[in-house]
Amino acid sequence: MFKKLVLIGHVFFSCGLFCHGQENHVPIKLNDLLSSVAQHAPSLRTDYIRTQVQQARATEVKNNRLPSLQLSYQADVGSNNNVPGPYFGFGLVPTNNGGIRADNNYRAVSANLGIAALQWEFYNFGAYHAQDQLARSEVMVENRRFEQSKYDLQSFTIYSYLQLLKLHDLIGIQSRSISRNQEIRQSIFALVKSGIRAGVDTSMADAEISRSQLSLIELENQQQQLQIQLSTLAGIPSAQIVADTTAEKILFEQVKNSPIELDGSRQHPMVAYYNALFDKTKKEEKLIASSYRPKVFLSGAVWGRAASVHSDNHYGSIGEGFGLQRGNYLVGLGINYNLFDLQRKKVKLNTQRLMVDEAGQKLQEQQANIAMNVAQSAAEVKTAERRLKEIPRQTTAANAAYRQKFSLYKNGLIDIVEVNVAQNMLYQAERDYITAKYNYYLALFHQVVAQNNVDGFLQLFK
């Protein structure tokens, strides 16, 4: 029975390794993955369209300078009775010119009117310029937002790629742990068969194998989830997103031998974005100040009209009222200013200045956060280096302890519990080494992200 179980276990394990090998794909380089993400990421396409929309709005603002030129024409038939006296117009009030007489005359009168009227606010003491400046600052904000989105997406892709490399190594460790547990299982089977060990040791070994298999399944699931996320961003089938482990080995040697040179003069995209927001609020303040200034208008109109009633109140035929009989023109220069705008301007400017102060505080907050992140990441790099130097000693010692315990067990000198403890210690030491190595990479990565020096980090993957 035990022999059959061992045989079945070997068959399933071999089939798993075979299937895993059949699904291998050519590893994708990090720079190639980043290029695909930049071209296919749905969020970047959306953000790019947003920048185009803002640019179109800025173009619309430039049209505010254009004058208004309206052409109108109407032909009418109706009575022509009027009385003198002023009134305020409200709603639709039909006008009636001339025709002031003692009695009403409801005989139909024809008339027509054609007007070309122009009005141009040609000067408003800087309001047009303030509108243009604000529109350009809004375009700049969207461009900075787009740059920040690209930077965040690039950072996420690099981080996910490093996680794929880490998971690849952890899966390898888990597979070695399973192999060790199977080796222990085979030795136990031989010892049980010879009567040296009790059958309960076999059950304990089977439990360890099952636990290791479950951990392997979980690691493979994490790997698949990352591949699916990157697949959505890069437009590449998830099965083809396989991290280049050879590049990781080269990276490890390069980082140790030639540390990344950091350039502290480069502005972080997040700071650039908040700087653009701060500038936008100041432009809004200038626009508010300009919008309540006087406005100078140039107005002009030409019109022609006709009517079937003559100047002596003689009613002609209906047809006489069509076709223009009189022509006029009017040109004027005007200025408009509302004195109560002084109070409105004062209140609005006070509100806007508070918004400027808020934007300035957010900018300073982001600058402080970036400085803090740089300092923390630098400290983490040093800690990760020390941790990485120490952990290999733990791994070597744990491996030696496991081999000694396993040898003692096979000679009947200790029980299976001590072997499992030593095997788990070796497994944890191997995991600690992989974790320490990738924490070192992440510390370096966080440092270059905080200082906007990702290009130097990417050079290590070429």
- Give the strand pairing for 109-123 and 326-336: unpaired
Q: What is the pLDDT of residue 126?
A: 92
Q: What is the pLDDT of residue 197?
A: 58
Exposure letters 248-278 (e unless 16+ CB within 10 A, then b) = beebeeebeeeebebeeeeebbbbbbbbbbb
Determine the Cα–Cα distance for residues 107 and 109; give it in Å rounded to an integer. 7
Evaluate whether 206 touches 184 at the Cβ level (below 8 Å).
Answer: no
Q: What is the pLDDT of residue 170?
A: 93
Which residues lie closer than 8 Å to 453 by C-beta, 6 or more apart? 260, 262, 263, 266, 447
Q: What is the pLDDT of residue 279?
A: 96
Closest of 165, 162, 266, 260 to residue 457, by C-alpha: 260
Q: What is the pLDDT of residue 3?
A: 38
Which residues lie closer than 8 Å to 447 by C-beta, 6 or more apart? 260, 262, 374, 377, 378, 380, 381, 453
Determine the Cα–Cα distance for residues 460 and 258; give it in Å rounded to an integer. 10
Evaluate whether 196 touches 412 at the Cβ level (below 8 Å).
Answer: yes
Angstrom distances, CA of residue 262 to CA of 258, 438, 448, 457:
12, 20, 7, 10
Q: What is the pLDDT of residue 264?
A: 57
Instruction: Please give the model's pTM, rounded to 2 decimal places.
Output: 0.77
- Average pLDDT score, the chain: 84
User: Residue 339 phi/psi, 5° resolution?
Assistant: -65, -30
Q: What is the pLDDT of residue 301?
A: 92
Q: What is the pLDDT of residue 259?
A: 57
Token pair belonging to 268:
């972080």
Q: Which residues of the chain have pLDDT under 50?
A: 1-22
428, exposed or middle or buried, with CB in 10 Å at 0-12, 13-18, 19+? middle
Q: What is the pLDDT of residue 154?
A: 92
Determine the Cα–Cα distance for residues 271 and 454; give it in Å rounded to an integer. 16
Exposure letters 446-457 (e unless 16+ CB within 10 A, then b) = bbbbbbbbbeeb
Q: What is the pLDDT of residue 146?
A: 94
Please name the helix (run of DSSP H) or strand (run of DSSP E) that holds residue 76, with its range, or none: strand 68-78
Amino acid making up residue 85: G
